[in-house]
Amino acid sequence: MLPNGRNGTKKLKVSSCYSPDRKLNPASVFIWNPAGKFTSTIKEFNAPYNIAWLGETDNKNMTVYNAWMIIPTIEGCKVVSNESQKGPKTKMEKIFAPNMVRKNIKN
């Protein structure tokens, strides 16, 4: 579960993780539902400092690459996130919800 994530991900759960010990590792594939069903594959894994994954919807309407840099702090950690999207759904979001990501990050 992702605590205190963007709107819509505060109670997000990974529904499947295809690795023997069910822990994320460099070869993990996981299925989750941030805004529709995504199948994601780990592409970079340097725990605990960075992780990146490529996710795609079943109908190929959206492909997303997420990369997190995790910086240790006295209180815990700071996460710097980069995301790149492509596909028809992404184009529609740019037209009808251009500030959606910005609003979600502020909340």
For 4-46, the pLDDT digits (tens) are 445 445 444 555 666 667 677 888 888 887 767 888 899 999 9
> Is the pTM for the entire model greater than 0.75?
no
Classify burial at 15, counting beta carbons within 10 Å of its beta carbon; exposed 0-12, middle 13-18, buried 19 or more: exposed
Q: Which residues partner with 86 through β-bridges?
A: 63
Per the prediction, the chain carries an average pLDDT of: 75
Given a cut of 70, whether residue 90 has pLDDT beyond it is no
Interatomic CA distance for residues 80 and 50, integer angstroms: 9
Average pLDDT for residues 66-87, to the nearest whole number? Answer: 90
Domain segments of the chain as ranges: 14-106
Closest CA relative to residue 82, chosen from 105, 60, 106, 56: 105
pLDDT at 97 (0 to 100): 66
Amino acid type, 70: I
pLDDT at 70 (0 to 100): 93
Q: Which helix (H) or strand (E) holds 70?
A: strand 63-72
pLDDT at 74 (0 to 100): 94
Helix (H, G, I), strand (E, B) or coil at 13: coil
